[in-house]
Amino acid sequence: MLVTRPEAEARATLAALAAAGHQGVPAPVLRIAPLPFIVPRQRFDAIIITSANAVRPGLPCASGTPLYVVGTRTARALARESYDAPRHIAEDAKGLVQALKAASPSPAALLYIAGRDRKSDIETLLGKIGHHITVLVTYEAIAAEAFAPAIRDDLAAGRIDAVLHFSRRSAGIFVAMMMAAGLGAPLRQMRHYCLSRDVAVPLEQAGAAGISPAARPDEAHLLALIDG
């Protein structure tokens, strides 16, 4: 079973697969690279973080400013840096926006700590309800260009039964890498376990048939698909 998430994040997934009796094969399609940043000096009404990869030393996350995050991984990353506990942990971007809408009258000044390549959902939805968003970019996720030769051989020979996909962008990169390697047929034939329906979109567009989205966008529900 191929695990496409970045190397550091993949370790826990691989361990969980092994504990459940499955053989996981790491094949990161993204590499996380920290970027230098300068924290804005202005005061913010709340701070938003949607990815654990965005959490870095030196952020203004221990000042008492309310933190709104997506996912328990992000909350754990904040705890590792001894930052404040989040006021709200949402399952996805829409849930985070709803929590902010309920808690913060607009217009509010929000600091969004994020990656260079990101979906526009947060900024668009919060902008529509009158909030002012300042984006602080702390990392970039660099796309891989090709599989390692051993991984490519396993894919071509049908020795990979399934793939785990964790983001829409990484699923799209995986599709592009498969097509570039001449592996369109295996792509369409293997099982694809996706963190959400949104993650599955590039696979559907490529004609993949065996797509299973998780009932909720977290790793526990994603892994539950395998034995379900």
Least confident residue range of 1-5, 13-17, 119-123: 119-123
Q: Once rounded to an integer, what is the mean pLDDT over residues 37-58?
A: 95
Q: Residue 79: is its pLDDT beyond 80?
A: yes
pLDDT band at 106 (very low <50, low <70, confident <90, very high): confident
Q: Show the DSSP H helices in the chain as ranges.
A: 7-19, 72-80, 93-103, 121-128, 149-156, 168-180, 184-189, 201-205, 219-227
Closest to 167 (Cα-Cα) out of 5, 1, 26, 48: 5
pTM score, two decimals?
0.86
Q: Are 7 and 28 in contact (CB under 8 A)?
A: yes
Q: Which domains does the chain have, with CATH numbers?
A: 2-29+144-227 (3.40.50.10090), 33-142 (3.40.50.10090)
Indicate if the pLDDT at residue 228 is higher than 90. no
pLDDT at 137 over 80: yes
Name the band, by pLDDT with cuts 50, 70 and 90, for residue 119.
Answer: confident
